[in-house]
Copies of this chain bind each other. A is one copy, B any other.
Amino acid sequence: MNDQTKLQQEEELSLKLFIVLTRTLDAIEKRVLEDIKCLGLNPTEFAVLELIYNKGDQPIQKIGEKVLIASSSITYVVDKLEKKNFIMRKPCPTDRRITFAAITSEGKDLMDDIFPKHKMAIQQILAGLDTNEKETMIQQLKKLGYYAKGI
A residues with CB within 8 A of B: 7, 10-18, 20-29, 31-32, 68, 119-120, 122-129, 131, 133-138, 140-149, 151
Contact = CB atoms under 8 A, between A and B. Distances in A.
Contact of A124 (B17, B123, B131, B151): B151
A141 B24 contact: yes
B14 A122 contact: yes
Contacts of A129: 17, 140, 143-144, 147
A24 B122 contact: no
A124 B14 CA distance: 9
A61 to B, nearest CB: 19
A141 to B, nearest CB: 4
Nearest to A26: B68
A13 B138 CA distance: 9
B140 A133 contact: yes
Contacts of A17: 126, 129, 134, 137-138, 141
B23 A145 contact: yes
25 contacts: A7-B123, A10-B123, A12-B119, A13-B135, A13-B138, A14-B123, A14-B134, A15-B119, A16-B138, A17-B141, A18-B28, A18-B32, A21-B24, A25-B25, A28-B144, A28-B148, A31-B148, A126-B144, A128-B144, A128-B145, A128-B146, A129-B144, A137-B137, A137-B140, A137-B141
A20 B11 CA distance: 24
